[in-house]
């Protein structure tokens, strides 16, 4: 696919502090952009990253008809870059689109646009351990009106951002607060969509957790506040009696994580016992009390694997694996990051390679 490419005449690269990248602070020079009008998406084009012409009546500002994705490109050992499982993100973007009445986008066109963008801005891909080019597609209603209805015009924009590891702690275990006062999603809602509302709903508890020294919030189900859903920006996995257990996706309240799928696929291949099922906080508490919890860790694109060293639930602290990285978390981390950079053979064809 050929896209119209308009290059910037002023690169942003000089403004980047490569020794202090952090997460999502810097943006690369270009975006892939496509506009929906009169019932169809245009072909998409590459344009300079910059201001967009919107009015205060922009519908998405009012009603939040916005979806997004997060994926990464890594410097490949053999040269060029590997984009990790972008097909999964594009599929999930379209599932999110359906949940909030946004017109879906052609998978292949979006994948081609992402590859083209990564290639054009390849000088923004950092190469140190844990670093990558974060790719953020966003789609939002871009008509101007105040009626509560689905928009008739949309923008799809893919931007990229050179990033370091998501947590300052790196692969070190994080402390997580189990929220009992707030809920993120309910059955019948939009918890399975990567849509703005879920993140807005999570901010209060997230800030409270930060103030109290926790990295993130663990969300329980919205009705009984017992079954575990997920963490703020990660799915959650428990290794109990050497069985890998993660909440199932069937209630529609949990994001279908790409890393979650990657971990479950590898675990099954490695012969681990794997269960996707309901798991309540009481079950974890009991298993912890009887010393049966081997490890707890989160999975997500930003951190890949994030060991959970401590869960606080109703004032009680559960410490896992002596606050140390466990062998299971370490093996998933090493394997997945090895595949992403090309140091480990990609037998599943998860990487889409971009030459430059
Ligand atoms: C709410 C939520 N759950 C889970 C995840 C992990 O998903 P993935 O592995 O696709 O990054 C994310 C991150 O995107 C998230 O925001």
The residue length of the chain stands at 356
Query: Does pLDDT of 25 surpass 90?
Result: yes
pLDDT of residue 171: 82
Q: Quick check: helix, strand or coil at residue 280? A: strand
pLDDT of residue 166: 67
CATH of the domain at 230: 3.20.10.10
> DSSP secondary structure string, 193-256?
S-BHHHHHHHHHHHHHHHHTT-SEEEEEPTTTS-BEEEETTBEEEEEETTEEEE--STTS-S--
Is residue 169, in this structure, part of any structural domain at all?
A: no
Q: What one-character DSSP code corresponds to residue 144?
A: B
Is residue 33, in this structure, part of any structural domain at all?
A: yes
pLDDT of residue 87: 98
CB-CB neighbours of 322 under 10 Å: 8
> Tokens for 148?
């509560």
Task: Report how far apart, in Å, the C-alpha atoms of 100 and of each of 18, 51, 146 are.
Answer: 37, 25, 17
pLDDT of residue 170: 59
Q: How far is the CA of 180 from the centre of ligand 1 (A)?
A: 21
The dihedral through the CA atoms of 58, 62, 64, 68 has a sign that is positive
Structural domain count of the chain: 2
> Looking at the structure, do residues 186 and 139 belong to the same domain, yes or no?
no
> DSSP secondary structure string, 149-207?
S--S-EEEEEEEEEE--SSTTTTS-EEEEEPSS--S--TTSSTTS-BHHHHHHHHHHHH
pLDDT of residue 167: 58
Contact 298 CB / ligand 1 (< 6 Å): no
pLDDT of residue 20: 93
Contact 259 CB / ligand 1 (< 6 Å): yes
CB-CB neighbours of 201 under 10 Å: 18
Query: Does pLDDT of 129 surpass 90?
Result: no
Which of 301, 302, 337, 350 should be mutated for ligand 1, with most atoms under 8 A from CB? 301
pLDDT of residue 165: 75
> Tokens for 288?
């912890």
Q: How far is the CA of 79 from the centre of ligand 1 (A)?
A: 28
Contact 258 CB / ligand 1 (< 6 Å): yes
The boundaries of the domain holding residue 45 are 4-164
Q: Quick check: helix, strand or coil at residue 285? A: helix
Contact 216 CB / ligand 1 (< 6 Å): no
Q: Distance (Å, rounded) from C-alpha 106 to C-alpha 91?
A: 10
pLDDT of residue 218: 98
Average pLDDT over residues 26-54: 98
207 backbone dihedrals φ, ψ, rounded to 5°: -70, -40
Can you give the pTM of this predicted structure?
Answer: 0.97
CA nearest ligand 1 atom 2, residue: 233
Query: Does pLDDT of 137 surpass 70?
Result: yes
Which of 164, 198, 220 is the endpoint of a domain? Answer: 164
CATH of the domain at 157: 3.30.470.10
Which of 129, 164, 199 is the endpoint of a domain? Answer: 164
pLDDT, tens digit, 9 for 90 and up, residues 2-14: 899 999 999 999 9
Average pLDDT over residues 113-127: 97
Q: Distance (Å, rounded) from C-alpha 105 to C-alpha 101?
A: 12
> Looking at the structure, do residues 55 and 191 belong to the same domain, yes or no?
no
Query: Does pLDDT of 88 surpass 70?
Result: yes
pLDDT, tens digit, 9 for 90 and up, residues 161-206: 999 976 555 588 999 999 999 999 999 999 999 999 999 999 999 9
């Amino acid at each position: 696919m050929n896209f119209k490419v308009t290059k910037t005449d002023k690169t942003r690269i000089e403004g980047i502090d490569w020794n202090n990248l952090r997460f999502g602070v810097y943006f690369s020079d270009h975006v892939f952009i496509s506009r929906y009008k009169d019932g169809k998406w245009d072909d998409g084009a590459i344009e300079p990253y910059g201001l967009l012409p919107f009015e205060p009546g922009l519908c998405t500002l009012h009603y939040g008809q916005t979806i997004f994705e997060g994926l990464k490109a890594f410097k490949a050992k053999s040269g060029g870059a590997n984009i990790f499982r972008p097909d999964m993100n594009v599929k999930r973007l379209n599932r999110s689109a359906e949940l909030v009445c946004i017109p879906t986008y052609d998978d292949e066109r979006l994948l081609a646009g992402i590859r083209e963008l990564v290639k054009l801005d390849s000088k923004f891909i950092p190469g140190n351990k844990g670093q990558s080019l974060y790719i953020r597609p966003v789609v939002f209603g871009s008509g101007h009106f105040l009626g509560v209805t689905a928009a008739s015009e949309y923008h799809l924009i893919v931007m990229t951002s050179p990033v370091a590891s998501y947590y300052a702690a790196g692969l070190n275990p994080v402390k997580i607060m189990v929220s009992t006062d707030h809920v993120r999603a309910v059955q019948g809602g939009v918890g399975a969509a990567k849509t703005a509302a879920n993140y807005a709903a999570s901010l209060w508890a997230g800030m409270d957790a930060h103030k109290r020294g926790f990295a993130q919030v663990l969300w329980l189900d919205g009705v009984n506040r017992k079954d575990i859903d997920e963490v703020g920006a990660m799915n959650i996995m428990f290794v109990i009696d050497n069985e890998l257990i993660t909440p199932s996706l069937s209630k529609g309240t949990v994001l279908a994580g790409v890393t979650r799928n990657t971990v479950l696929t590898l675990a099954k291949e490695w012969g681990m016992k794997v269960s996707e099922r309901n798991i309540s906080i009481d079950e974890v508490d009991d298993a912890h009390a009887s010393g049966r919890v081997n490890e707890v860790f989160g999975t997500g694109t930003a951190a890949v694997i994030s060991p959970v060293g401590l869960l606080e639930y109703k004032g009680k602290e559960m410490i896992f694996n002596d606050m140390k990285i466990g062998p299971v978390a370490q093996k998933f981390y090493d394997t997945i990051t090895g595949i992403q950079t090309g140091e480990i053979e990609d037998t599943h064809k998860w990487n889409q390679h971009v030459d430059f």
